[in-house]
Copies of this chain bind each other. A is one copy, B any other.
Amino acid sequence: MPEHPLASPLLAGDRRALARAITLTESTRPDHEAEAQALLSELLPHTGRSIRVGLTGVPGVGKSTLIEALGLHLADGGHRVAVLAVDPSSARTGGSIMGDKTRMPRLTVHPGAYIRPSPSRGTLGGVARRTREAILLCEAAGYDVVLVETVGVGQSETQVAAMTDLFVLLTLPNAGDELQGIKRGIMELADLCVVNKADTDPKAATRAQTELTAALRLLTPRGAPWRPRALQASAVTGAGIPELWAAVGAYREAVDIAARRREQTGAWFDDLLREAAWRAFQAGLDPARLRELRGEVLAGRLTPVQGVGTLLSPVPT
């Protein structure tokens, strides 16, 4: 099989080759898609050798500064750090994770780091798929830490948790009051909770940490290989950053990451197949009739079983 021209430079760690390869996977042109899959296929044996860390938190929690602080700590320690983002809103608004170079000015210029904004096209599913592929490309380029940030729009946290080895929820010191609008279901995804900006109110930060610890204990099934932890950190002072990385290390020791990845890959395969099934099926449906019957069901005039049955039965002539 002829080698793709980007393969060699990318494997050698060339950032421009990596950037061009990611751009190729983001293209929706059918010839680009085929080319991207061929390139990925070639690089697949060189992937998987990073720790994939997902991070989320509501706006204002200090995601960028914390990711920059963690990234600098790691890059200064000899790691090669890639930062990716999943922001499905960027398709509509041009991106709420904008100007990544401005957001993380010091990490951007660090030779050991690579920062890539969210793909700005497509549905959440499309953005998630492209981010999964970007993870693989970063790994092939030799990045051994991949940080995937999500802005927490819609289902993006679930998607990011499903493509990373561990998932970190960032909160603020006054988290105990109401957790600032964290969505239902997000706490349950967290392997680590970090009370960020702990320096702004140390007493509140300690209280938040205690409450989060109790909540995480309640949420963790007995016998789980990993008990989620709550930590404190401050991106500004740097406090807690080494401890955060140490917790990631403890997690890697405790959890069978290869098994988790196999499960994620299988689930991704199954999702793609179900999506294909749905698209094929939808092509044969009359949208007006679908709307009408769904309306009848919502109005309580048909049960859902009857509505679906009527929709799928041949139209009487």
Show the binding face of A for B, using Cβ within 8 Å: 37, 40-41, 44-45, 47-48, 129, 133, 136, 175-176, 178-185, 187-188, 211-212, 214-215, 217-223, 262, 265-266, 268-269, 272-274, 276-278, 280-282, 294, 297-298, 300-309, 311-312
Contacts and interface: CB of A to CB of B under 8 A. Distances in A.
Number of copies: 2
Contacts of A276: 281, 308, 312
Contacts of A176: 214, 217-218
Nearest to A185: B188
A136 B297 CA distance: 14
B281 A269 contact: no
B282 A269 contact: no
B218 A187 contact: yes
B44 A266 contact: no
B304 A217 contact: no
Of all A-B residue pairs in the complex, the 6 with the closest CB atoms, nearest first, are A277-B281, A215-B215, A269-B304, A272-B308, A268-B304, A181-B222
Nearest to A212: B218
A129 B304 CA distance: 10
A269 B307 contact: yes
A37 B306 contact: yes
Given A262-B298, A277-B281, A214 B217 contact: no
Contacts of A184: 188, 219-221
Contacts of A309: 37
A282 B276 CA distance: 11
A266 B278 contact: no
A218 B217 contact: no
A101 to B, nearest CB: 29
B266 A294 contact: yes
B273 A303 contact: no
Contacts of A188: 184-185, 187-188
A282 B277 contact: yes
Contact of A211 (B47, B214, B221, B303): B214
A300 B269 CA distance: 12
A225 B272 CA distance: 36
A261 to B, nearest CB: 9
Contacts of A223: 181
B214 A302 contact: no
A217 B305 CA distance: 37
22 contacts: A44-B301, A136-B303, A176-B214, A179-B217, A179-B220, A179-B222, A182-B221, A184-B188, A185-B185, A187-B218, A211-B214, A266-B294, A266-B297, A269-B294, A269-B298, A274-B274, A274-B278, A276-B308, A277-B280, A277-B282, A278-B278, A281-B281
